[in-house]
Amino acid sequence: MADTKDLVLEVHGLKTNFYTYEGVVKALDGVELFLRRGDTMGLVGETGCGKSVTARSILRLVEPPGRVEEGEILFREIDPKTGEVNAVDILQLDEDEMLHIRGGKIAIVFQDPSTFPNPVFRIGDQIAEVILLHQDMKHDVLEMKINKLERILNMNPPPVNVSEIVAHLEQLRSMRGNPPEPDEKAKKKAAKWRAIEMLKLVRMPSPESVVNQYPHELSGGMRQRALIAMALACNPSILICDEATTALDVTVQAQVLNLLNQLKKEIGTSIIIITHDMGVVAETCNWVAVMYAGTTVETCATDELFANPLHPYTEGLLHAVPKLHEERERLPQIPGSVPNLIHPPSGCRFHPRCDFATEICKTEKPKLEEVQPDHWVACHHPRI
Amino acid sequence: MKLRDFILRRMILAIPVIFGVLVITWFLAFQVGDPAAMYINENTPQSAIESIRKAHGLDEPPHIQFILYLTNLFQGNWGESTSTSFRPVLEVIALKFPATIELAMLAMFFAIILGIPLGIISATKKDTVVDHFTRVFSLAGVSMPIFWFALMLKYVFYYQLAIMGLPHLPGSFRYDDLMFPDFKYTTGFLLFDSIVFEHNPRLFLDALAHLAMPAFCLGYLTLAIITRMMRSSMLEVMREDYITLARSKGLSERVVIYKHALRNALIPTVTVIGLAFGGLMTGAVLTETIFSWPGLGTWAARAILNSDLAAINGFTLLVALIFVTSNLIVDLVYGTLDPRIRYG
């Protein structure tokens, strides 16, 4: 990772604990991640390995009894005016600065579309809320007015006072460089208009009526689209999809994944896709990080990972994916089960299940190192 | 259209409820004593007793008497309150109802205004000193019997303060009739009358001072119930996924709590408020008696002591009607709070 300027997000040594009655759950123990600008990164691992906790730690949404203990989460933002790259450590920000980042700079789409939208507010209001919170509405109000006039001009039959409208339109367009300060009412109207635009962006059928509907009136796929629209409403630098497609039908899942890929091109957002589905990773991600029991064990380009896995756990994980051209009675599996994180194994957390473990694996925790160009592994005995 | 149908249907459904109440109270009252006893004394000749029985239909078999009672009820004749100088029950209710409603409204107002914020604070500051204090306060409210609490209030804020020569709260009646000898009720709602018809702020303040103790006493139980309900439903809602979503949007904690959580947490609380309003009517019997409040409660208590059967039946019917109405209102409020609830 030569040029850190390309990285929009860097996570180093992230540790998050949960203080439960049974003991301290060491959910994250030194997570390392890096996300390049414009990339789609897959964050994979089995259930309970800390993928979601990582996502919530990045947004500082870990709730008690959980707490982020240590680490560094560097978020690099390009200043739109100067083009300079500013780095901030999210864990060092105060709560007010954090409110600015959440939803505005880094947005998240959660797993379950049936429980995440607030049942008592209209979809449009829930999207408009985040727009009003983070956007300076000056441009939006102006664009809404221009858009309205353009629509009137294109009406059939054309309006009688075309010249007047054209003149007004020109006047509005000339203000684009320095739009006037709108009043509250206009802001709210523009936010609603933007909400409809966002719903159009996520290919929501009949967005004009959906904005006025409540979550329970929509299907699961539509609700998931609404959640994505909410997350994308402020053109975030990073979009985290926490199992955003897991609860959906396969067909809807494919639609949503396609949509994310298209949106990435349209908006230029970097995406983190959290999943345990290797198929989703192969199809949508160009970079992958594999997690095991709260640590990053391997991270590299997707093609590289599938062709040349270096960590014994990744190898086992890929072997467990059924292949079309092979005929097998039973899929190979990784022996043992996910370790108890209150008393995690010493040294490398994977060593009790690893075929290649030696003495050093029991005592010393391996560091994530670049063993091959652009291919990082945390293992004492990488499978080179 | 839909809303009107809903209200209409609910009103039709209320008919069997009210009928059930009528059957039960009337037959229970029928077992208790002889209504004719109230019209006679030791000098009344036997023949006169017979004619009194005949005049009031008391010589008929019970089911005929009940039908007679229902017929009268629908004609607006709820019987005579024998313990209130034989005045028609409906007339007495009309006279005394405003005093009770004013008391119950103020109790309710104060229970809601204090109870909801206390519940929210208690939930958002869970396991802090504020929370512990609120929980003890509300536990005391649901545990203390009204009659005991009313006496304690009166003992401290009226009796003890008075014998120490300190300014104290009045312990009985709606206003001081020595200070305002010329006052006449217009609507019966004293707070309203004193301002709108009398233009007398001193009377208004005097009425408020008289209301303070009974309203607090009556409202405390409801306040406690609302606080506890609000706290638990708020705690539950704060664990919901949509709260995490609201936080992930970058909304401040204040907006998350007072916009996203509150509206959801209010739904169960509103149910409790509706039920509690009916409960205030029964609480009023105890409170009014202790504070000599000239309302329906005192009247009903005296009616029970005097076997004034028509008055007891009338009061019970009124309470049943209030229960049914407040439940209907609760269901309507539900619909505005929660869009998932549809009338139909």
ipTM rounded to 2 decimals: 0.85
What is the structure's pLDDT at B344? 54
Q: Tell which of A116, A122, A127, A134 to mutate to test the B interface (max B CBs under 10 Å).
A: A116
- Contact between residue A124 and residue A256 where contact means Cβ atoms under 8 Å apart: no
DSSP state of A111: S
Q: Is the dihedral of CA B1, B2, B6, B9 positive or negative?
A: positive
Residue B305 included in any domain = yes
Range of the domain at B256: 95-146+215-337
What is the structure's pLDDT at A93? 86
Chain A positions touching B245 (Cβ under 8 A) are 110, 116-118, 227, 230
**Residue A10 CA to chain centroid, in angstroms?**
14
- Contact between residue B121 and residue B229 where contact means Cβ atoms under 8 Å apart: no
Average pLDDT of the residues of chain B: 87
Alpha-carbon torsion, ordered A180, A183, A186, A188, to 10 deg: 120
What is the structure's pLDDT at A344? 83
Question: Do the Cβ atoms of A227 and B247 come within 8 Å?
Answer: no
Residue B19 included in any domain = no
Question: Do the Cβ atoms of A227 and B246 come within 8 Å?
Answer: no
Residue B304 included in any domain = yes
What is the structure's pLDDT at A326? 72
pLDDT above 60: residue A1:
no
- Contact between residue B319 and residue B295 where contact means Cβ atoms under 8 Å apart: no
Confidence band, pLDDT 50/70/90 cuts, at residue B1: low
Chain B positions touching A129 (Cβ under 8 A) are 249, 251
pLDDT tens for B225-254 read 999 999 999 999 998 889 989 999 888 888
pLDDT tens for A103-132 read 888 999 888 888 888 888 999 899 988 888
Burial A217-243 (b: 16+ CB within 10 A, else e): ebeebbbbbbbbbbbbbbebbbbbbbb
Least confident of A227-231, A327-331, B23-27, B285-289: A327-331
Question: Do the Cβ atoms of A108 and B248 come within 8 Å?
Answer: yes
What is the structure's pLDDT at A307? 87
The residue-averaged pLDDT of A154-176 equals: 79
Question: Do the Cβ atoms of A63 and B242 come within 8 Å?
Answer: no
Q: Tell which of B128, B240, B245, B334 to mutate to test the A interface (max A CBs under 10 Å).
A: B245
Shortest distance between the Cα of B253 and any Cα of chain A, in A, equals: 10
Residue B53 included in any domain = no
Distance spanning both ends of chain A, measured CA to CA: 20
Q: What percent of chain B has pLDDT over 70?
A: 99
Question: Do the Cβ atoms of A103 and B245 come within 8 Å?
Answer: no
pLDDT above 50: residue B103:
yes
The closest alpha carbon to B73, from B337, B324, B325, B320, belongs to B320
Question: Do the Cβ atoms of A102 and B248 come within 8 Å?
Answer: yes
Residue A2: strand, helix, or coil = coil
Question: Do the Cβ atoms of A110 and B241 come within 8 Å?
Answer: yes
What is the structure's pLDDT at A168? 82
Residue type, B288: E
Phi, psi of A250 (to 5 degrees): -60, -40
- Measured CB to CB, residues of chain B less than 8 Å from chain A are 240-242, 244-252, 260, 263-264, 337-340
Residue B80 included in any domain = no
DSSP states of B81-114 as a string? ETTTTTEEHHHHHHHHHHHHHHHHHHHHHHHHHH
Residue B187 included in any domain = no
CATH classification at residue B279: 1.10.3720.10
Residues 6+ apart with CB under 8 A from B212: B169
pLDDT above 90: residue B112:
yes
Question: Do the Cβ atoms of A104 and B247 come within 8 Å?
Answer: no
| Total structural domains within chain B | 1
pLDDT above 50: residue A2:
no
What is the structure's pLDDT at A281? 87
Chain A positions touching B246 (Cβ under 8 A) are 118
Question: Do the Cβ atoms of A116 and B264 come within 8 Å?
Answer: no
pLDDT above 80: residue A328:
no
Comparison of pLDDT for B148 and A221, the residue scoring more: B148
pLDDT tens for B197-229 read 888 888 888 888 888 899 999 899 899 999 999
Residue B267 included in any domain = yes
Residue B344 included in any domain = no
Chain A positions touching B240 (Cβ under 8 A) are 115
Comparison of pLDDT for A185 and A83, the residue scoring more: A185
What is the structure's pLDDT at A358? 81
- Contact between residue A310 and residue A371 where contact means Cβ atoms under 8 Å apart: yes
What is the structure's pLDDT at B343? 66
Q: What percent of chain B has pLDDT over 90?
A: 23
What is the structure's pLDDT at B42? 81
Chain B positions touching A227 (Cβ under 8 A) are 245
